[in-house]
Homo-oligomer: A and B are copies of this chain.
Amino acid sequence: MIKKRLYTPGPTPVPEQIMLMMAEPMIHHRHPEFQEILTSVNENLKYLFQTSNGVMTLTSSGTGAMEASVANVLSKGDTAVYVNGGKFGERWGEILNAYVLNAVEIAMEWGTPVSPEQVVDTVKNNPETKAVYLTHSETSTGTATDIKAIAQAVHKHNNDIAVIVDGITSVGAMESKMDEWDLDIVVTGSQKGLMIPPGLAHIAVSERAWKLIEKSDLPAYYFDLKAAKKALDKNDTPWTPAVTLFIGLEKALKMLREEGIENVWARHRKLADAIREGCKALGLKLLSSSPSNALTAVYVPEGVEFKKFNSVIKQKYGITVAGGQGHLKGKIFRISHLGYYDELDMMTMMAALERTLVEVGANIKIGAGLTAAQEVFTK
């Protein structure tokens, strides 16, 4: 018997009780049962994002919310700065270019975070900048960016610039305080820290960003944030929502609120720390110089083929990890700590990792990774 276990940074495992709630008979989205769900969801999303702004939920993947953050906020000919330090930073550039905007790229080596100074310098060199597009946790490299310091530095330089954050693998995993940090848009997706299946995206918008939205002349219909906000204020949605996913979302948000958001962040920090220490004790090299607590990107040891590693860990141990993307394909694997995981889940992962590495011929000391991880949890 081999159990299947998912350790990918989205989709993440869904609590069994949530899966079963979503299997209940279908209800209609314009009837009171569903409005009750939306009311609870909308309230608890504010808590999750640490904001008093409304948080809109779109039926799409997180990329839809990223597009909404461009198409609603900017206007024809606008200049925006974006940081490209991985596949998801690159996506900001692709969206800005799809709308034929003046997209100024800050290209980072993958695994290295941008500094507040670099962002502010680029903004200074491009005084027409309306918005800065950032990635809080770059999923392709497992890298965290100090969005708090960047938002502060950008707004100190020019208080009209919107700071827009892809929080897709950070919200519900890493400390993120929209209002306190003065962030203008934060987006996330349902299949990440929120622990439910993919199909919903969430977007929170500040007063500063709404001012830009009022002036925007780019086309938007399905992702029109003004329509979404109008519906939100009535605990409604402009289009037919993914009803079953909202049912799961209501429960997931209640679980996170019950745990307490500070505890959720601390749990992710500890899980990530244990995996990082375990990997280091096995002599593995981590990719990122500023590791995210949502996932850990680890280099495949020299002399080991990723394909073989992945086949053993999946077929023999039932564990699905993520591989590398872009030029990192075949060079790294990525272990998720994001969402519905506890400390013992990380020990399970570490046990499978050690055994897989031995089987693919890596020179490691059995037990060293487990011991180091255990020490993080028990110290």
Q: Which A residues contact B (CB, under 8 angstroms)?
A: 4, 6, 8, 10-14, 19-20, 22-31, 59-64, 67, 71, 94-95, 98-100, 189, 191, 197-199, 218-224, 239-245, 320, 322
Contacts and interface: CB of A to CB of B under 8 A. Distances in A.
Given A61-B241, A242-B197, A224 B98 contact: yes
Given A189-B240, A242-B199, A245-B242, A221 B23 contact: no
A124 B60 CA distance: 39
Contacts of A12: 26
A240 B10 contact: yes
Nearest to A95: B221
A198 B26 CA distance: 10
B244 A63 contact: no
B99 A219 contact: yes
A63 B26 contact: no
Given A61-B239, A62-B240, 20 more contacts: A6-B26, A6-B27, A11-B26, A11-B27, A11-B29, A12-B26, A22-B22, A28-B320, A60-B60, A60-B222, A60-B239, A61-B242, A63-B222, A64-B222, A197-B243, A197-B244, A198-B243, A199-B241, A199-B243, A199-B245
A11 B28 contact: yes
Contacts of A61: 59, 222, 239-242
Nearest to A190: B242
Q: Which of A60, A100, A189 has the most CB of B within 10 A?
A: A60
The secondary structure that dominates the A interface is loop
5 A-B pairs closest in CB distance: A199-B242, A19-B23, A197-B244, A61-B239, A98-B221
A26 B240 contact: no
Contacts of A14: 25-26
A284 B92 CA distance: 56
Contacts of A244: 22, 197, 199, 244-245
Nearest to A320: B28
A10 B29 CA distance: 9
A4 B20 contact: no
Contacts of A10: 240
A20 B59 CA distance: 22
Nearest to A68: B222
A240 B191 contact: yes
A22 B23 contact: yes
Contacts of A8: 28
Contacts of A13: 25-26
A161 B192 CA distance: 43
B59 A220 contact: no
Q: Which of A12, A14, A26, A99 has the most CB of B within 10 A?
A: A26
Q: Which of A20, A199, A243, A245 has the most CB of B within 10 A?
A: A199
A320 B31 contact: yes
Contact of A63 (B6, B23, B30, B239): B239
A188 B62 CA distance: 22
